[in-house]
Amino acid sequence: MDYKVEKAVTADYKKIIKLSNKAFHRRFKRIMPKLFNNRPEVTDHHYVIREKRKLVASATILPNDFIVGDSVLKSVGVGTVATAKNRRGKGFMTRIFKASEQDFNLADFAILTGKRKRYENYGFFHTGINKNYTFFKWNFKNEKDTVNLIPLSKCPEYAKEIARLNQEKPCFVPREEKDIQDILRTYSDKAFVVEKDGEKCGYLVFSWLELRVGEIKTPYIGEALKALFNRYKLMPMFRIALPVYDISNEAKWCEENAEFFSLNHNYSYKITNFKNMIGAYLKFKNSYQKLANGVQTIQIGEEILKISVKGDSILVEESQDKPDIKLSVKEAHLTLFGIRGTLTPTQNNWFPLPLYYPRSDNV
């Protein structure tokens, strides 16, 4: 039988949810509410395969703007990659990813979570960088019990402030106030509003499944994290993941108080426009860490890019010059945007670039 990949239609919405629930034994209305909590309009961002009119495979291909400093990049989130159990092994996902290439090529990068080796077959490589801080209960023994954590669902009016705080980040995906609650519940995470002395003063997003704080913004970080331990009394430890460029008071507090610290890759990325990505992130990195002046020519696969840095003037352009360094597409992901690879002193000053995508905005 010749299986055809199609764009989903609105009538497929409930069928996609049912297929995904069965494929993963999970309730996607709960773990991905921003897509499946009465959001039929997102059906347009799905590819599906049918067998005798029955849905047997689907995947979410969701476009987003991603603000990096003064630049706007185009991203595509890939998620809910589902195949009916009795139809696996027929190459459905390969067909869907091939059809999705047109979407990937209209963006600057695509991003997904999932098994690293599996998705390398489709050009996705585990890269990006985040700082991980590990905390145990004893790290908070000197913190006071003066903060309450209130579920965002009980004070939905605070979503407006969270949307505002999101816009203040140096890199972010734009969020509308009406969507905040569902966005922050991605992967069954839970959002809490920090309250002290009757005043609301920040928020945090916590994953019980991963024992990880994915977002936190409050002047009372130590007290808020102690309150988190008090709320989840059986929790042995948790981690906080932050981008490497984060120099906020929250990041400084973590550096001073965490039991352990590590650098880790962020997610699996497929960079389709290295020129735009390198240009945007070099300009952003130069805004908080002045880059060395210089000119370098880098070959990535068959593409050659000439990079020029002089003060605040940064230019990335296509070139026919002899490259100073040759990288495969995989090596470029890992070296230019990850924590692996050997470069010259000038290149080491420029790279790696601080690619980081927020967990709650992923699919």
Question: Which of 40-49, 315-324, 335-344 is least confident?
Answer: 335-344
What integer is the mean pLDDT of 233-247?
95
Strand 303-310 with 313-318, pairing: antiparallel
Quick: pLDDT tens for 86-115: 989 999 999 999 999 999 999 999 999 988
Residues 139 and 96 grouped into a single domain? no
Structural domain range at position 14: 5-126
Quick: pLDDT tens for 63-79: 999 999 999 999 999 99
Say how far apart CA 276 and CA 314 lie, in whole Å.
12
Six-digit token string for 30 = 């709960």
Residues 143 and 254 grouped into a single domain? yes
Say how far apart CA 140 and CA 100 lie, in whole Å.
47
Residues 51 and 118 grouped into a single domain? yes
pLDDT, residue 341, reads 66
Three-state SS sequence of 219-272: CCHHHHHHHHHHHCCCCCEEEEEEECCCCCHHHHHHHHHCCEEEEECCEEEEEC
pLDDT, residue 2, reads 73
**Plot region of 153 (φ>0 → left; ψ -120 to 50 → alpha; else → beta):** alpha
Sorting pLDDT into bands at 50, 70 and 90, what band is 348?
confident
Q: How far is CA 203 from the centre of its chain?
A: 19
Quick: pLDDT tens for 149-198: 999 999 999 999 999 999 999 999 999 999 999 999 999 999 999 999 99
Residues 145 and 249 grouped into a single domain? yes
Six-digit token string for 189 = 């995470």
Residues 167 and 55 grouped into a single domain? no
Residues 142 and 107 grouped into a single domain? no
CB atoms within 10 A of CB 259: 11
Residue 358 within a domain: no
Mean pLDDT, all residues of the chain = 95
CA distances from residue 356 to 24, 112, 186, 198, 242 in whole angstroms, order as listed: 27, 12, 17, 34, 9
CA distances from residue 324 to 22, 277, 290, 354 in whole angstroms, order as listed: 51, 19, 22, 22
The fraction of the chain above a pLDDT of 90, given in percent, is 93
CB atoms within 10 A of CB 13: 19
The CATH number of whichever domain residue 202 belongs to comes to 3.40.630.30
Residues 142 and 256 grouped into a single domain? yes
Domain termination residue (choose one: 264, 293, 314):
264
pLDDT, residue 122, reads 95
Q: Which candidate, 273, 254, 271, 245, places its Cα nearest to that of 353?
A: 245
Quick: pLDDT tens for 2-61: 789 999 999 999 999 999 999 999 999 999 999 999 999 999 999 999 998 899 999 999
pLDDT, residue 339, reads 85
Residue 203 within a domain: yes
Residues 194 and 297 grouped into a single domain? no
Residues 321 and 258 grouped into a single domain? no
pLDDT, residue 342, reads 63
Say how far apart CA 289 and CA 349 lie, in whole Å.
9
Residues 141 and 224 grouped into a single domain? yes
Residues 142 and 197 grouped into a single domain? yes
What integer is the mean pLDDT of 249-276?
96
Domain termination residue (choose one: 76, 98, 126):
126
What integer is the mean pLDDT of 188-215?
97
The model's pTM is 0.95
Residues 137 and 259 grouped into a single domain? yes
Residue 357 within a domain: no
Domain termination residue (choose one: 233, 264, 295):
264
Q: Which candidate, 153, 238, 160, places its Cα nearest to that of 191?
A: 153
pLDDT, residue 8, reads 97
Number of domains the chain contains: 3
Sorting pLDDT into bands at 50, 70 and 90, what band is 344?
low
